[in-house]
Every structure is written in structure tokens, then in C-alpha cells.
Structure 1
Amino acid sequence: MNPDVTDYLAKTRPWQQEQGALLRAAVNGALPQVEEVLQYGKPHFQVDGRMVAVLHVAAAKVSFMVFDAGDVEPVPGLLRSLGAGDRKVVDLRDGDTVDSEFIADLLRRTAGRD
């Protein structure tokens, strides 16, 4: 695990640290070969040099975006599309639960490891 990502999460609110840690664990569990990098000031996750996801903490939420998700259907209230639909985002707020299995499945599908 990249210490820069650890530092990024350590600077957030306790509930964001918890959600960030759960998301990070889901990524590392689903894609054991994943590399964590801090890019553009945010934790990014890459496989074989290709970005597969990014985690972003904002004032009121934690967002987790996956790339190359054009074939993944949005899930109302859980997974929304960005751009032309090739990126999908899960937004979590204080009190929300991280569905680690959903995240892991999403990553395996979008990273081509299903």
C-alpha cells in the first residue's frame, strides 16, 4: 500500500477514513496486482499501467469512480454515470455503508478480470 494514499486518507474526517479504508481494501482484494498512486492529489488505482479507479474525498462525501465502465448499467441510488457513460461513480455520505462485494465485482468487470 502506498504511504501517500495512507496520508491522504489520514487527513479526512473519521467517517471518510473508514469508508476510504473499506474502499481501498475492496480494491486490493479484488485486484491483488493493483498499484496505488497519488495523482492529481487523489488516490488512483492502476493495473498494468492502466488507471482503473480513483477515490476522492470531498466535504460531504467520498466518491469512488471506475473507468472503462461503458458496459456497466447505472444503478439508481448507488451507481451513476459520468461523461459519455464510460465512467461510473459511487458516492458515499456519512452513515452510508460500503458494499465491498459490489465494489469488488464492479472492479473485476471494469478492469477486465471477471
Structure 2
Amino acid sequence: MNGDVTQYISNTAPWQIGVCEKLRAMVHETIPMVEESSQYGKPHFLKNGHFAAVIAVSRDKVSFMVFNATDIPAVKGFVRALGNGERKVVDIKEGQDVDYTRLADILETTTVAL
């Protein structure tokens, strides 16, 4: 576990801390030997030196972005595409139910070739 990532998470709202900790645990369970780093001021997760996912917290949401996701379809109300679709993002708001199993499946799919 990276201390800068822990610090980032601990400096968020209580509900965001819970979401971030669950996302972090899910990433570690999904990607064996995942590396954590703080880049661009946000927690990044790497597999074999390649970006796999990032957590970004703003005032009213927690965003979880996966890389290498061209083949993952956008799903209205759940996951949206960024840029050319190579990155997909899930925005989580306070009180929202989160399907961490579904997120883990997406993450596993996007990191299998890394």
C-alpha cells in the first residue's frame, strides 16, 4: 500500500473514504501484484508498469476510471467513455449502490493483456 494513496483517501469526506477503500480493496483483489502510485495528485494502479485504473475524488462524487477499455461498452447510467473510448469511468455519488463485482469484472477484462 502506498502512503500517498492512503493520505489522498483519508483527506476526503467520510462517505468517500468508504467508497475509495472499497475500490482500493477491489483493485488489489482483482489484480495480483498491483502497484499503487500517486500521479497527477491522484491514486493510480498499475499492472506490469501500465496504467490499469485511477480514483479521482471531487466535491460530490468519486470517479473510478479504467484504462485499455476500448472493448468495454458504455452503459448509460453506469459507465461512460472518455476520449476515444480507451478509458471508461464510473461516477459514484453519496448513497448510491455500487456493484463492485461488476467493476471488478470490467477491471479484470481490461487488464488481462497487460
Do they fold alike, i.e. is TM over 0.5? yes
How far apart, CA to CA, are the structure 1 residues paired with 2:98 and 2:26? 9
Aligned residue for 2:18, secondary structure, equals helix
Question: Which residue number in structure 2 is paired with residue 45 of structure 1?
Answer: 45
Q: What stretches of structure 2 of length at least 5 have no aligned partner?
A: none
Percent of aligned pairs with the same residue? 50
Q: CA deviation at 1:98?
A: 2.5
Deviations 1:53-106 (A, max 9, x none): 110000010000001100000111000001011100000000012321111111
* TM-score, normalisation: structure 2: 0.96
How far apart, CA to CA, are the structure 2 residues paired with 1:7 and 1:55? 13
> Does structure 2 retain, via aligned residues, the 8 Å contact 1:23–1:98?
no
RMSD: 0.9
Question: Which residue number in structure 1 is paired with residue 88 of structure 2?
Answer: 88
Structure 1: which 4+ aligned runs deviate by more than 2 Å? Answer: none
* TM-score, normalisation: structure 1: 0.96
Aligned residue for 2:68, secondary structure, equals coil
> Does structure 2 retain, via aligned residues, the 8 Å contact 1:43–1:55?
yes
How far apart, CA to CA, are the structure 1 residues paired with 2:27 and 2:103? 8
Question: Which residue number in structure 1 is paired with residue 58 of structure 2?
Answer: 58
How many residue pairs were aligned?
A: 113
Q: What stretches of structure 1 of length at least 5 have no aligned partner?
A: none
How far apart, CA to CA, are the structure 2 residues paired with 1:19 and 1:98? 9
How far apart, CA to CA, are the structure 1 residues paired with 2:27 and 2:88? 15
1:69 paired with 2:69, answer yes
